[in-house]
Every structure is written in structure tokens, then in C-alpha cells.
Amino acid sequence: MADKVLVTGVSGFIGGHLAAELLRRGYAVRGSLRSLSRTGEVHAAMTAAGVGGTDLELCQLDLMSDRGWVEAVEGCRYVAHVASPFVLEKPKDPDELIRPAVEGTTRAVTAALDAGVERVVMTSALATMQFARAPKGHLYTDADWTDPDDPRLNAYTVSKIKAERAALELARERGAEDCLALINPGAVIGPLLTDDPGTSITAIQQIMSGALPMIPDLRLPWVDVRDVADAHIAAMTSTSAAGRRTITATDPMSLIEVAAVIREHLPRASRKLPKRTMPTWLTWLASTFEPQLRDNRWLIGQKQRFDCAPAEALLGRPLRPIPDAIVATGRSLTERQLI
């Protein structure tokens, strides 16, 4: 009988790729949805990924409800907690994001530990380290922590910090530190399995669709979604991932460089790409009005460095080249007529 993995948030970008890769490797997957009305969407995503659904079952879970968690983890050897609330527009009340993230994490980890699963792999975010105040040229590692009280942060980043800390604290209280592993991806891009482009891909979608008159010098630490999925699977069994946070991201590449990759490799999809770059001062001014720029304004023109060696050791190979991930993203957006 195949080992079963509970994947929360299976309809999401990372969750879908993770479920598909698990099925591809012979695991059985129980995927959770907030609403079973998305069942057809999940099966379509698995078809797009080229995997059958014979070892896929779906269940309904709500991050804010106790119902169903015990049943969801029953019979599972591993749990991948990928689900997390996210909204593109900043909520008036930050707790709209923070509470579901923390409470959902607590429910997932508690249920998993109560059931005696071998490993809980939680999807966190590079943002829990990336915005720690540090001197210029600092190499960010898993020892860095973003201060959740930093006034620069948006509610999403605070939610990821507090959820990650809640998971670590709960594992410590239960004496189960080695049963928890955290994957901290940067801006996740890559081939789409559905018509939902996800949050990080929105930045590429905007420049390809001509939504921005100029390209801002915003540098983001990209990572291929397939590497993120592979890292989750490796972390299920690797002793090196036990009890630790693993940065899964490359050093930042600017949107200007992203556009150059698209022009070179996808010329037919480059017609709407802005031909001008936005000066740094204008990018700062635009960040007053554009939410995505505002939330990342201190990254404008900045060059950060991240320690990806643990992720590459976990994977047993280098992370995929980001230009390849950009091309895969651009092709998906074009094929699905999302630009």
C-alpha cells in the first residue's frame, strides 16, 4: 500500500504541484479544500500535470474550524501543510490573515502530532527571514528572523512569521522538534496547472500584459514551483530538514532582467512588454499607489543574498535556473490566454 500524504491547500499553486509530484512518485494523496466545489478544478490540474487521480482523494477542511482534522490525518504517514490565507488587497483588519494562518497551522500540526505522523512539512515563506534588518551585503540564513512588529510589514508577512513561530513552539512543547520541517520559498513561479496565476506570477503577468507603463527595478528572490514541491517531498524523510527552516530561493533578479528573458525566449509574447525601465525615484513614488510595490518598496534597487546551500543539499542538486522558470511561466500565461 502506498504511503499517504495529507496536502492541505491542494487547489493552490504550490499545493497542486506538490500533489502532482507525490502522485508521480507513487504516493497516495489526500488533499484538503476549503470547499469541495473546487473538486473538478483539482482533478483538471492533475490531468494538466499528466498524473492520474486514482490515488487522490479530497476532503474539506477550514483553517478556522476544528471539524475534520482528525479524520484528515488518519492513515497518513506525512502531512504537508501548504494552506494559508492570502489576499491581494491589504485587509482593513490584519487579523483577517493572521488568525487563520496561526490557527490553521496549530490545527494542522496538533492533528498530525496527535496521529503520530512521521513528519509535518510546513510551507512558510522567505519573508520570515528576508526582512530582518541587516547590514548591506548580509547573507541571509535560517538564523535570521523578520521582526513581526516592524511597521514596514504587510499582514501576509506577519501571518507567516507568527504561523511559523506557532508551529515551532508547538513542536518544542510536544518534544517533537524533529517531526517538523519548514520550507521557506521566495517568489514562486513556473508552469501553471490552472488559470489561477498565483500571487508571485502576477508580477510577471503585469509586465507581459502591458499593465505597467514602465518596468520597475524591483528585485525578487524567485524560485521554480517544481523545486518547492521537490523540497517538500525531500523534507518528509530527510534528517537534515528535521526541526529547521530551509530557504528555497535564488538571489534576487529584477523585473527588468525578467523582461529581458521573456523578450529573448518568447518574442511573440513580448509585444506588450514595456520598453522603458522605471527610474528608482519614480518606482518609489509609484509604490505609494501600487500595493505590490508598496509592500516591497524597501527591495527597490536592492541586492540581497540568500543561503540556498541547505536547499540544494536537501534536493541533492542545484535549484533550477530562474530563466527557465520565467520561460515556463510566460508560456503558461500565453497558452492560457492570461495576458
d(CA 224, CA 12): 15
d(CA 132, CA 307): 14
Please state at what angle helix 255-265 crosses helix 322-335, rounded to 10 degrees: 70
Segment 175-193 shows an average pLDDT of 97
From residue 314, give the alpha-carbon distance in Å to each of 1, 46, 160, 240, 245.
Answer: 26, 25, 22, 7, 12
Note the pLDDT of residue 288. 73
DSSP result, 164-183: HHHHHHHHHHTT-GGGEEEE
pTM (two decimals): 0.94
Per-residue pLDDT for 88 more than 60? no
Note the pLDDT of residue 217. 82
Q: How confident is the model at residue 281 (pLDDT cuts 50, 70, 90)?
A: confident
Q: Which of 2 and 314 is assigned the larger pLDDT?
A: 314
**Which 8-state DSSP code applies to residue 60?**
E
Per-residue pLDDT for 308 more than 60? yes
From residue 176, give the alpha-carbon distance in Å to each of 103, 108, 167, 309.
Answer: 19, 14, 11, 25
Note the pLDDT of residue 90. 64
Q: Which of 166 and 297 is assigned the larger pLDDT?
A: 166
* Mean per-residue pLDDT of the chain: 92
Note the pLDDT of residue 86. 57
Least confident of 61-65, 153-157, 164-168, 328-332: 153-157
Percent of the chain with pLDDT over 70: 95
Note the pLDDT of residue 81. 98
**Is 160 in the active site?**
yes
Q: CB count, 10 Å around CB of 91?
A: 14
What are the chain's domains? 4-190+221-250+304-321 (3.40.50.720)
- Out of 4, 90, 160, 275, pick the active-site residue: 160
Note the pLDDT of residue 41. 94
Per-residue pLDDT for 218 more than 90? no
Note the pLDDT of residue 291. 67
b/e per residue 114-152 (b: at least 16 CB within 10 A)? ebebebbbbbbbbbbbbbeeeeeeeebeeebebebeeee
C-alpha neighbours within 13 Å on the C-beta side of residue 52: 3
| Residue with grid cell 509592500, as numbered in its chain | 295
Note the pLDDT of residue 197. 84
Segment 225-237 shows an average pLDDT of 98
Nearest CA among 145, 79, 131, 142 for reference residue 109: 79
* Strand partners for 187: 222
- What are the respective helix, strand and coil percentages of the chain, to the nearest 5? 45, 15, 40
Q: In what order do the strands lie in the sheet with 4-8?
A: 56-60, 28-33, 4-8, 78-81, 119-123, 180-185, 245-248
d(CA 120, CA 285): 43
Note the pLDDT of residue 27. 97
Q: How confident is the model at residue 99 (pLDDT cuts 50, 70, 90)?
A: very high
d(CA 223, CA 250): 6
Cell numbers at 271, concatenated:
509585444
